Structure formats: structure tokens, C-alpha cells
Amino acid sequence: MLLIVLGAVCLLVGILVGLTGVGGILVPPGLILLSGLEPHEAMGTALASFLPIGLVGTVMYRRLGHVDWSRATPFMIGGLAALPGAVLNASINAKPLVILLAGIILFAGFCVLRPPKAGGSVFWQSRAGFFFIGASTGFLAGMTGAGGPVLTIPWMIAAGVAPMTAVGLAMPYQVVTALFGTVGNIADGHVDFALLPIICILEVAGFAGGVVLAKRTPTGMLRTLIGGVCCLLGLFLLVRELEQYFLN
């Protein structure tokens, strides 16, 4: 029964990514709570599952004209920091990692409910700025399996990048973070290859449906749904881990 629920979560994640570019943040906690995987392995498996969506999304958004390689390249180079993030993940106790993941989920929820206003300095729209954003969020993606877009999209929008362009740039970046983060996680045995293909298939199927629904779904309703789910899930994970910490 739990695996059926997990499958539904993965399908939903794909739909949300197709609709908004954000949604993968729900996979790591879903695996932690529903699959029985140890947190390190759940985070590593989640990050690996984002590679197919990143590839499909890159092709799609490139065709739509939302992937500017002059901007995407330094962003993707920064994403290589997912590899040391994944290596560090293996040496840290699971509890602080889950607490960090809960904090990222809460941050994502608040950003969705209260989108950042466009603006930012010239630096954040330069190649150096894009590299810094990519490296910072890539490192966290490798550590927690949360994926990069959940952090990079609100950061880029706040820096003055158009929302659709921010989502488009996040796709090839996600390919890099998922690929190199997974290399580090495989080295430590933190990827469940038995479960991974099923997760990938469901996420890609949901992604295709999400792209179709994107033209028909009211933005306000979608934002409230995603933001509310992220805030509740992040708060639940945080309270759960803190309760276990103090009780033990």
C-alpha cells in the first residue's frame, strides 16, 4: 500500500515539475516516509531520478526558446558542486540532513506562496552570478537530494530573470546536478537501482501530463496547492526529526 502511495507521489511530482518547474522537492521526503529506504539512500535515489526529467525538460524548453546557453553554461558548471555535496552527505548523520531538507522544503513553500519580486543587482545576472547560484544550490542538492530548481528558480526570479526563462535554465542545470550528484552517491552505495526505474518512469509520465495541463490550470490555485503542500510537509518532517532527537 505504501509503495502505491509512493508511486502516486512520484506521478504528482512529475505533473508539478511540468506545470511549474518545481515539485521534485517532494521526492526525498516521500522516499524517506514511504519506501523504507535509509535517509542517505532515499536522498541519493531521489536525486538520480531527476536526470530523465532534466533531459526531457531541456529539449522541450530549448525548443520553446527558453534555454540561453550563454547563461546556462556557467550555471551548469556551478552545478558540478553537487558531486562534493553528495560526498559530504555520506559523512553526515542522517538527522541533520533531514532537518536541512525540511528547511529547504519550507523555504520552497514560502517562495511559492509569496513569489520573490524581480530585481537584483547586475552581478546576479552576470556569468559569475549564475555560477555562484549554480554552485551554492548544486552543493545543497548533492547533500539533500532535493534537486536544484526548487532553490534556483526563486533565486533567479529575484535576480530579475523572467519566470519561464528561469524554469528553462533550471532544466539543463538539473541534468548536471543529478548526474554528478549521483556519481558521488553511487560511490557510497546510496542509490537504490531496483526502485529507481519505476520512479523515473512515473515522474516522466507525470511531467508530460503537467506540460499539457500548464495551459489550463489557474496559476493562483496551483501556487496555493504547491506552497501549502511544501509548507505542511516541511513542517511535518522538521517536527518529526526534532521530536525524535529530543526523545532519544
Place of cell 543587482: 121
Checking 209-213 for CB contacts under 8 A at 24+ apart, the result is 209/14, 209/15, 209/18, 210/14, 210/15, 210/16, 210/17, 210/18, 210/19, 210/23, 211/18, 211/19, 211/60, 212/18, 213/15, 213/18, 213/19
Reported as a single tens digit per residue, the pLDDT across 104-120 is 878 877 876 777 666 65
How many structural domains is the chain composed of? 1
Which H or E run includes 102? helix 94-113
Please give the distance of CA 182 from its chain centroid, rounded to a whole number: 14
Residue type, 195: L
Q: Which residue has the higher pLDDT, 34 or 69?
A: 69
Domain that holds residue 1: 1-247
Please give the distance of CA 29 from its chain centroid, rounded to a whole number: 12
> Is residue 1 over pLDDT 70?
no
> Is residue 227 over pLDDT 80?
no
Q: What is the pLDDT of residue 179?
A: 94
> Is residue 248 over pLDDT 70?
no
Q: What is the pLDDT of residue 114?
A: 78
Q: Give CA–CA dist 85/90, Å, rounded.
A: 9
Reported as a single tens digit per residue, the pLDDT across 83-111 is 999 999 888 888 888 888 888 878 877 87
Read off the pLDDT band of 2 (50, 70, 90).
low
Q: Residue range 204-221: average pLDDT?
A: 76
Crossing angle between the packed helical segments 163-187 and 69-78, to the nearest 10 degrees? 30
Q: What is the pLDDT of residue 111?
A: 77
Reported as a single tens digit per residue, the pLDDT across 21-64 is 777 778 888 888 888 888 899 989 999 999 998 899 899 888 88
Residue type, 138: G
